C-alpha cells in the first residue's frame, strides 16, 4: 500500500507540492502519518534526482540525558567505516554561544582539545583522533557562536542584500553549509556529524532543523543515528523504554525520523524490548543497537560491530555491505590491555578535581600503560592542597608524577612543590605546559638560588622572570583564540634523552600557551644541569627541558597528550610509564 501511495506522490506534482508545503510550514501540526508520507516522498524524489557528490552523511544526535557517550559512538562508527577502507571524517557541532571552548573553564566543559591547525575545540575531537588516528582541523568543530559570527559578518558586509536575517533560513543555511563543507572539500566517503546537547534543548533546535532539511535534500545519502538511554528501575526490576519513545517523539516533532537507535543501558536489552522500541519508533529491528557499559571505551567499536551497526548504516545508505573487517590491531590492543593487570600508580597534580579536565592526559597514560603491559592508575592530587609539610605524605606512594597544564595562579605553588619532590627524590616526573613552567621555576628557586623566581603570569613583579610572556603576546587584549596554538616544529638536541625517546631529530607537537622559557637564563640552567633539549628552529623558543642526571625528569612546553592515539601511543608517555615501572 505504501509503495502505491509513494508512486502517487512521485507522479503527482500537485500532491508533492502540497506535502512540501505541509512539511515546511506546518510540521508541528502534522500527524506522524503525514510525516511518514512526506519522508517517503523525499526519499523517493532524491533517489531519482540524486545530487552530484557522493559523500554520505551520518548525523549523531542524543536524547534523554547528556553524557551518554555520543562522542564515543561517533568515533566508533568512524573507526568501523574506516576499517572497511572508507575515507572518513568526524565533526562536532556544539550549540553553545562561545565562539570556541578556549575561554571555557574546564569545570564547565572539560578539557579544551587543540587541533594541529590551531583550533581550540571540544574534547570529543580527542576521541575522534584517538579512535581513528585521523587528524581533525578547525572545520571539524563549530559552535552556535561561530555560526552567528559568520552570519553577522556577512550581514555587515551587505551579502544578504537587504534581507531580514532570521534563524531560518540564514542561520540554518550557514549550519548546512558548514555541515557539508568537509564533504564537498575533502573527498570523504563519509562525514559523521555529532550534535552536542540533547534533543529538546532550545539551543540545538537550529542544528536539528538543518539536519531535517539536509535529510530531505540528501535522501538516501544521509542517516540519523540517535543515542538514548534505557534506565533500569530496580524497584520494578525492569528496563524502561518510555524515555526513548519520548525522545524519538521529540525528534519526530522536529521532522526527523531517526534511522538507527543506539540505546545506552546498564543491563542487556532482550529481543522483546528491542522489538518494542523498533515498533514504537518506526525503525527496523536490526537498527536497534544496545550500548552496554564497558570496562573501557575502546571496547565500544567491537560491541557495535558485533551488532552490525556499521552494516546497518551501509544498508540504510543503499551501499554494499561486504565482509566484516577483522579489526586486528585494535583487538590486539584490547587483548593486551585486558592482560595487563600489574598496576602503575601515577599522581596527577593539578587544580581541577574532574576527570574530563585532563581527558587526553588520562587516555595517553592509559594507552602507554597497555603498551608497557601495565595498568596505569591515575590519582588526582589537588595542587592547592600541597604544602611543604604534607608534600611527602601526599606524593610518596606514587611511581610517577605528572605536573598538569593550567592557567592562573591558583594551585601553582603546589605544582612547584610537587616538581621539587619529584626532582629531589628521583621520582619520574613529567611536566606539561604550565607543568613544565613550574619545573623551571622550581629549579630556579632551589638550584639556581633565585628564591622569588616565577612565571610573570603568576607573579608579574618577580625579579627572576624565568618564564616570561612571549613577545607577540604582549599587546593582546582579546583572550579568545589568541594564544600560540597548534602544531609547531621542534628540533631535538643530539644525545639528549628526548632525542633517544623520539628516535628522531625533529618533531611537531601542539601548543596552547602565552608564556615561554626566558632565554636570558638558558646558560645558568644548562650549567646547573637542567638542559634545554628541544627548541623551535625559527624562534629558539625552548620547548623541552630535561635533567639528565635524574631517572626521568622532563618538561614540555607543548601538549604531547593531544597526539597520542590507540594504535600510535605517544613516545614520551610510553617512556614515562616505562620509567615509572622501575620504581
Ligand atoms: N598558562 C601557561 C601559559 O599560558 C600554560 C598554559 C597551559 O598549560 N596550557 O603559557
Work out which ligand 1 atom sits closest to the CA atom of 559. Answer: 9
pLDDT of residue 52: 45
Long-range contacts from 83-87, C-beta under 8 angstroms, 24+ separation: 83/325, 83/327, 83/330, 84/310, 84/314, 84/322, 84/325, 85/325, 86/189, 86/190, 87/186, 87/187, 87/188, 87/189, 87/190
pLDDT of residue 28: 44
Mean pLDDT to the nearest integer, 58-67: 91
112 is a catalytic site residue: no
* Cβ 407 under 6 angstroms from ligand 1: yes
d(CA 355, CA 505) in angstroms, rounded, equals 34
Work out which ligand 1 atom sits closest to the CA atom of 483. Answer: 4
pLDDT of residue 48: 45
561 is a catalytic site residue: yes
Contact 509, 573 (CB under 8 A): no
Three-class secondary structure of residue 172 per DSSP: helix
325 CA to centre of ligand 1 in angstroms: 42
Work out which ligand 1 atom sits closest to the CA atom of 467. Answer: 10
The separation between the first and the last C-alpha atoms of the chain, rounded to the nearest angstrom, is: 73
169 upstream amide cis, omega within 30 of 0: yes
Mean pLDDT to the nearest integer, 285-293: 94
Residue 25 in this model has a pLDDT that exceeds 50: no
Residue 391 in this model has a pLDDT that exceeds 80: yes
pLDDT of residue 11: 38
How many residues comprise the chain?
583
* Cβ 574 under 6 angstroms from ligand 1: no
d(CA 122, CA 111) in angstroms, rounded, equals 7
pLDDT of residue 7: 41
The 3-state DSSP composition of the chain as helix, strand, coil percent (nearest 5) reads: 45, 20, 35
343 CA to centre of ligand 1 in angstroms: 31
What tens digit of pLDDT does each residue of 66-110 get?
Answer: 888 999 999 999 999 999 999 999 999 999 999 989 888 888 788
Contact 557, 376 (CB under 8 A): no
Catalytic residue, candidates 224, 281, 378, 433: 433
Residue 122: which pLDDT band, with cuts at 50, 70 and 90?
A: very high
Which phi and psi angles does 225 have, rounded to 5°?
-105, 120
**Residue of 112, 431, 457, 511 with the most ligand 1 atoms within 8 Å of its CB, for mutation:** 457
- Residue for cell digits 575515507? 87
Tell me which residue of 460, 446, 450, 404 sits closest to 547, measured CA to CA: 446
**Residue of 405, 419, 560 with the most ligand 1 atoms within 8 Å of its CB, for mutation:** 405
437 CA to centre of ligand 1 in angstroms: 8
**Residue of 106, 349, 359, 433 with the most ligand 1 atoms within 8 Å of its CB, for mutation:** 433
pLDDT of residue 118: 96
- Residue for cell digits 628552529? 537
Burial class (CB within 10 angstroms; exposed 0-12, middle 13-18, buried 19+) of 194: buried
| DSSP string for residues in 348-359 | EEES---GGGGH
Contact 543, 345 (CB under 8 A): no
pLDDT of residue 431: 98
407 CA to centre of ligand 1 in angstroms: 5
Work out which ligand 1 atom sits closest to the CA atom of 457. Answer: 1
Work out which ligand 1 atom sits closest to the CA atom of 405. Answer: 8
pLDDT of residue 53: 62
513 CA to centre of ligand 1 in angstroms: 4
d(CA 381, CA 534) in angstroms, rounded, equals 28
Q: Which residues pair with 114 in a beta bridge?
A: 120
* Cβ 467 under 6 angstroms from ligand 1: no
What tens digit of pLDDT does each residue of 184-213 get?
Answer: 987 899 999 999 999 999 999 999 999 999
Residue 180 in this model has a pLDDT that exceeds 50: yes
Residue 353: which pLDDT band, with cuts at 50, 70 and 90?
A: confident
d(CA 407, CA 433) in angstroms, rounded, equals 10
Percent of the chain with pLDDT over 90: 83
* Cβ 551 under 6 angstroms from ligand 1: no
- DSSP structural state of residue 163: P
d(CA 157, CA 80) in angstroms, rounded, equals 43
pLDDT of residue 395: 97
* Cβ 433 under 6 angstroms from ligand 1: yes
pLDDT of residue 248: 96
Grid coordinates representing 96?
553553545
pLDDT of residue 19: 45
Three-class secondary structure of residue 324 per DSSP: coil
- DSSP structural state of residue 235: T
Amino acid at each position: 500500500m505504501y509503495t502505491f501511495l509513494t508512486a502517487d506522490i512521485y507522479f503527482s506534482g500537485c500532491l508533492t507540492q502540497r506535502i512540501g508545503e505541509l512539511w515546511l510550514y506546518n510540521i508541528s501540526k502534522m500527524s506522524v502519518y503525514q510525516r511518514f508520507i512526506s519522508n517517503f516522498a523525499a526519499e523517493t524524489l532524491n533517489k531519482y534526482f540524486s545530487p552530484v557528490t557522493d559523500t554520505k552523511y551520518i548525523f549523531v544526535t542524543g536524547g534523554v540525558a547528556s553524557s551518554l557517550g555520543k562522542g564515543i559512538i561517533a568515533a566508533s562508527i568512524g573507526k568501523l567505516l574506516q576499517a572497511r577502507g572508507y575515507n572518513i571524517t568526524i565533526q562536532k557541532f556544539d550549540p553553545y554561544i562561545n565562539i570556541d571552548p578556549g575561554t571555557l573553564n574546564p569545570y564547565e566543559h572539560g578539557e579544551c582539545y587543540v587541533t594541529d591547525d590551531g583550533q581550540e575545540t571540544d574534547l570529543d575531537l580527542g576521541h575522534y583522533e584517538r579512535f581513528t588516528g585521523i587528524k581533525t582541523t578547525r572545520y571539524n568543530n563549530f559552535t552556535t557562536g561561530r555560526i552567528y559570527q559568520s552570519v553577522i559578518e556577512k550581514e555587515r558586509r551587505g551579502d544578504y542584500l537587504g534581507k531580514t536575517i532570521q534563524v531560518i533560513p540564514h542561520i540554518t543555511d550557514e549550519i548546512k553549509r558548514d555541515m557539508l563543507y568537509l564533504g564537498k572539500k575533502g573527498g570523504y566517503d563519509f562525514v559523521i556529524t555529532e550534535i552536542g546537547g540533547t534533543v529538546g534543548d532550545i539551543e540545538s533546535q537550529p542544528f536539528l532543523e538543518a539536519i531535517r532539511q539536509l535529510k530531505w535534500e540528501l535522501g538516501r545519502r544521509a542517516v540519523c543515528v540517535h543515542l538514548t538511554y534505557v534506565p533500569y528501575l530496580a524497584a520494578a526490576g525492569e528496563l524502561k523504554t518510555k524515555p526513548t519513545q519520548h525522545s524519538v517523539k521529540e525528534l519526530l516533532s522536529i521532522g526527523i525520523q531517526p534511522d538507527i537507535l543506539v540505546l545506552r543501558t546498564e543491563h542487556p536489552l532482550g529481543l522483546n524490548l528491542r522489538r518494542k522500541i523498533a515498533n514504537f519508533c518506526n525503525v527496523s529491528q536490526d537498527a536497534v543497537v544496545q550500548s552496554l557499559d564497558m570496562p573501557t571505551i575502546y571496547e565500544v567499536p567491537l560491541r557495535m560491530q558485533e551488532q552490525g551497526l556499521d552494516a546497518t548504516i551501509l544498508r540504510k545508505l543503499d551501499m554494499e555491505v561486504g565482509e566484516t573487517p577483522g579489526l586486528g590491531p585494535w583487538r590486539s590492543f584490547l587483548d593486551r590491555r585486558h592482560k595487563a593487570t600489574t598496576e602503575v600508580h601515577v599522581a596527577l597534580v593539578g587544580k581541577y578535581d574532574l576527570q574530563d579536565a585532563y581527558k587526553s592526559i588520562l587516555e595517553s597514560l592509559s594507552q602507554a600503560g597497555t603498551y608497557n603491559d601495565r595498568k596505569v592508575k591515575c590519582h588526582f592530587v589537588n595542587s592547592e592542597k600541597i604544602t611543604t609539610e604534607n608534600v611527602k605524605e601526599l606524593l610518596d606512594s606514587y611511581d610517577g608524577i605528572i605536573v598538569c597544564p593550567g592557567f592562573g595562579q591558583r594551585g601553582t605553588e603546589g605544582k612547584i612543590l610537587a616538581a621539587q619532590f619529584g626532582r629531589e627524590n628521583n621520582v619520574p616526573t613529567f611536566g606539561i605546559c604550565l607543568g613544565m613552567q613550574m619545573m623551571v621555576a622550581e629549579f630556579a628557586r632551589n638550584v639556581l638560588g633565585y628564591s622569588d623566581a616565577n612565571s610573570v603570569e603568576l607573579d608579574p613583579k618577580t625579579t627572576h622572570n624565568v618564564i616570561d610572556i612571549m613577545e607577540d603576546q604582549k599587546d593582546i587584549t582579546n583572550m579568545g583564540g589568541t594564544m600560540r596554538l597548534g602544531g609547531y616544529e621542534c628540533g631535538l638536541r643530539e644525545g639528549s634523552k628526548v632525542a633517544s625517546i623520539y628516535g628522531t631529530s625533529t618533531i611537531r607537537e601542539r601548543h596552547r600557551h602565552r608564556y615561554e622559557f626566558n632565554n636570558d637564563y638558558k646558560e645558568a640552567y644548562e650549567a646547573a644541569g637542567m638542559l634545554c633539549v628541544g627548541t623551535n628552529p625559527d624562534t629558539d623558543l625552548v620547548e623541552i627541558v630535561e635533567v639528565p642526571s635524574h631517572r626521568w625528569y622532563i618538561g614540555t612546553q607543548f601538549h604531547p597528550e593531544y597526539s597520542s592515539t590507540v594504535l600510535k601511543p605517544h613516545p614520551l608517555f610510553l617512556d614515562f610509564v616505562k620509567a615509572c615501572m622501575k620504581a
